[in-house]
Each structure stands twice: as structure tokens, then as C-alpha cells.
Structure 1
Amino acid sequence: MIGHPFYILEEVDSTNNYAMAQVNSGEVTSGTAWFTGNQTAGKGTRGKKWLAAPGDISALTVALQPAALPLSRQFMLSVAVALGAHDFFSSYAGDETAIKWPNDIYWRDRKAGGILIENVIRGTIWQYAIIGIGINLNQGKFPEELKNAVSLRQITGKTWDGPTLAKELCHFLDQRIKQLTPARYDQFLQEYKAKLFRMNIPAQYRSGDTLFEGTIKDILPSGLLVIDTGHELKEFGFGEVEFILR
């Protein structure tokens, strides 16, 4: 069960780094979770930093053995985790919560959280997925360079207890992971697309040095993003396209 055991770390550079070290030590059971409200060198996708003042961010990492999921279905784990995080955040922030491809949590057009999954693969065996989730919790304001960020406190007007919410997040993740069977892959993907930020909405994107208008039309089972540019349907992998935000 995700969140059993559940450890609270007073301060850590990165909950993902800490979890990876514990997994490599061989002393971890699947479902173990680590939480901190003070992450000094948090990691985002593609090497980005995820930093916040102590207590502002809820940083949770879960070590999970993917069990029956084959390596070819890695994106389905990402989908399940994103849906679980969406379930959790929308329970407080409401139905304006969305998933920005591949797995950021958005409220309206602002980023509320991010997910980073790092894998431990030995040979052809997917031994562990290290699932890191950072939720903007109690920030009253953000630096100018993070003008599209938002916290749960800003949305609700309330200050939140990090460990309590992290345990709730574990519950939502556990429900989704338990439902993730081959018979439900298509159902999960359809639900993911129904919650997707900018799905079927024209917007601006950048790929390399090219700025273009396009409309998200589909997400493939492999995780590729399909955008209609008006001239053709183009497929993009992770890191190959940038969302232009206001």
C-alpha cells in the first residue's frame, strides 16, 4: 500500500535523491513514502530546480515496484500518477484543475505541482519507479520568474498542513495504482485526455527555434503529444515542445 511506511524528513536536498539511495541500499519495500516540507535542492523535469521556502511546498516521493507493468508501458504509470495527483488537488481546488502534458498539475493556466518519475532498471527488469511529486502548498507569492505558478493557499485562502495532505495524496495514488491493469489502460488514457490542459484549444507552442500555433488533438499510448498545426498532425516526445504561457 502506498504510504506504508510513511517517513517525515525534517530537511533533505531532494526526496527523490533520498529515496533512490534507500532503494539502492536494498532496505525498502514497495509503497514506502518520504515527505518533507523543506527540500533544499528539489528536482523538476529535464534538470529544472524545484525550490521553495520551508513549509511552502509539499514534497513527496514514493518508491514503487511496478509489478505487472512492462517497460513498454512506462507512460501508463505516468498517467496513473498524474490522475492520482489530479484527484487529490481537485478535491481542494475544484474542477478548474487540469493535467499539463506529460504530468504537471495546473489550476486554470497556472502550475500548482509537478511530477518526476525516475526508474531503477537492471537488465530488462523494471525494479523500481521513484515517483516524486511537488505540490505548491503555502506560498503567498512567487518570484517574478515564476509568474505562472499558483499555490493551494492562494486558491483557497487557507494554510495547510503538509504531512496531512501528503498522506491524503498517498491514498489517491494508491487507488489509481491498484486500478492500473491492462484491461483499464484505454480507460485511463481517455480519462487523462479528458483532464488535459489545452486539449482541443488553439494555443502557441515552440519546438526548437520555431514558434507555431497549434491545437492538441491526442495523446498516444507511448506518451507522444499530437498537435494539429493547421497543415499537419505533428507528434512530439517529452522535451521536444514548449507550451507558451501568458
Structure 2
Amino acid sequence: MKIIKLDAIDSTNSFLKNLSLTSALENLTVVVTQKQSKGRGQQESSWISEPYKNLTFSVFISLNDVKIIHRRYLNFAISLSIYNVLFDKKISKLSIKWPNDILSANKKICGILIENSFFGDKIKSAIVGIGLNVNQEIFPNSLPNVTSLKLETKITSDLDVLLNDILIELQNNIKLLESKYFHLLEKQYLDVLYKKNIPTMFKNSKDEIFMGFISGVSDDGNLQIQLEDDSIAEFGIKEVSIL
């Protein structure tokens, strides 16, 4: 494991991606920064983080014999790594909001961006960007539904210790993935999936509002929602939102 610490950078994912094009990266190479000016989330959304108070980092993961058709289990493994560490920190009402936001109650505490590289029918490697709100206590008005470890526990966390805890858990879950413990990863993920089996109002990309409940995640990684007529509809990222 190699950790590269930068005081400031535009995006740890972009930095690590560019580095991977020019260098043979050691597995679990980490780039962590105190200040990120152009942090990215899902679908090119931005990640805003107060400098020196949070964890903003990316991890290069070289994968052994993980097929593209099993990429949803990679998401499960990574999401559960953050969830498990925060669970040990006694964060209340913790859940994973599909596909990989970590929530405390209905407030976002961590965002994850996974960018895969493929070779043939397999995932060759992944660059995983993680933004975790740690010691920040004041957020912009434009972000009303966010929280942090400090807000939830009233404790100031050591960022280096927390990073190490996450990397250890990530290693453990990647081993489960490569050992093909798919059923275990899926069960653990679905057990903590936000709003699973709870009647919920949704809005689709056509601004249509409907009632249903989350029933699972498809082989393609889409969210499965059981509708009022008992049929199952599938939605990709940004195709549905919870009201």
C-alpha cells in the first residue's frame, strides 16, 4: 500500500487516473488531499468539502478475476467498507442509499465515485474516489441534507487513523469479492439499503411521481422498485429519485 499526500489538488480521481496512464501503480495506491477544488461525484456532480477537516481521497484497486457482469458486487464491497467503519464509530441510523451514498438518517455523510477499467470481459482495475465528511460542522445552505462524524458524535476524529481504518476494511471486502463471496456481499448490502421494503414516493426522469418500494439491485446494478401492481421496474443512476 502506497499513500501519496497532497496539500491541494483539483481532483484526486483525475490525478490518480493520469498517474495510472504513465506509471505502473502498486495495488491500493492512495492519493489523499487536504484541499480539493474540483471534487467529483456521480454523473459529473460536484463534491464540496471544507479544507483540512474532511477525508477526500482516491484508491487504485487492481482486481484479480472479477468479471464485468459482477461489477455490482464491487460497488457493494466498497460501499460496505465505509458503512462498516462508520458503524463502528456509532453513527446513528446508518444506511447505504443506492448506489453508494452513505447516510445518517436521511443526511449524506459520504459520497463514492467508482471508475472502472476493463480488459476483455473482466474489470482490470478501479479508481475509487471517496469524500467523507469528518470534522466539518458548518455546510453551505445549498447542502441542507448533509452531516459529518463531528456533528453526529461530537468527537473530533483523527483523519489519518480514519483513513487507515477504511483502507483495512476495503482490503478485507475486496478479498471477499475476489474470493467470489457474492451472496454474502449482496446480503450485507441489501440489509442496510436505504428505504428497502418501505413504501416510498419516487419521481422518475420524466417528473412522474409514483409509489413503490425498493426490492433490490439487478444484475446490471440498476435499482429495482416494486410498483403498486406488483411489477418490478428498474432504474439507472439519475433515472429516479426518492421524494
> Quick one: distance in 1 between partners of 2:176 and 2:79?
14
Counterpart of 1:65 in structure 2 is: 62
Amino acid at match of 1:218: G
> Quick one: distance in 2 between partners of 1:204 and 1:228?
12
> Quick one: distance in 1 between partners of 2:72 and 2:7?
32
Secondary structure of the structure 1 residue equivalent to 2:210: strand
> Quick one: distance in 2 between partners of 1:73 and 1:218?
15
Q: Which among 200, 203, 208 is matched to residue 206 of structure 1?
A: 203
> Quick one: distance in 1 between partners of 2:6 and 2:142?
28
Q: What's the CA shift for 1:62?
A: 0.7
Q: Which among 128, 147, 151 is matched to residue 150 of structure 1?
A: 147
Q: Which among 108, 115, 118 is matched to residue 115 of structure 2?
A: 118
Whether 1:104 and 2:101 are equivalent positions in the alignment is yes
| Uncovered stretches (5+) of structure 1, i.e. residues with no partner | none
Distance 1:110 1:51, change over 3 A: same
Secondary structure of the structure 1 residue equivalent to 2:221: coil
> Quick one: distance in 2 between partners of 1:94 and 1:221?
30
Counterpart of 1:55 in structure 2 is: 52
Counterpart of 1:159 in structure 2 is: 156
> Quick one: distance in 2 between partners of 1:183 and 1:95?
31
Distance 1:207 1:10, change over 3 A: same
Whether 1:13 and 2:10 are equivalent positions in the alignment is yes
Q: What's the CA shift for 1:131?
A: 0.8
Q: What's the CA shift for 1:125?
A: 5.4
Is contact 1:15–1:60 with CA below 8 Å preserved after alignment? yes
Tell me the matched-pair count: 241
> Quick one: distance in 2 between partners of 1:181 and 1:167?
21
Counterpart of 1:237 in structure 2 is: 236
> Quick one: distance in 2 between partners of 1:73 and 1:66?
12
Counterpart of 2:78 in structure 1 is: 81
Q: Which among 168, 188, 192 is matched to residue 171 of structure 1?
A: 168
Amino acid at match of 1:219: V
Is contact 1:66–1:126 with CA below 8 Å preserved after alignment? yes
Counterpart of 2:40 in structure 1 is: 43
Distance 1:183 1:44, change over 3 A: closer
Secondary structure of the structure 2 residue equivalent to 1:144: coil
Distance 1:138 1:186, change over 3 A: same
Q: What's the CA shift for 1:122?
A: 5.0
> Quick one: distance in 2 between partners of 1:225 and 1:201?
14
Q: What's the CA shift for 1:105?
A: 0.5
TM-score, normalised to structure 1, is 0.92
TM-score, normalised to structure 2, is 0.93
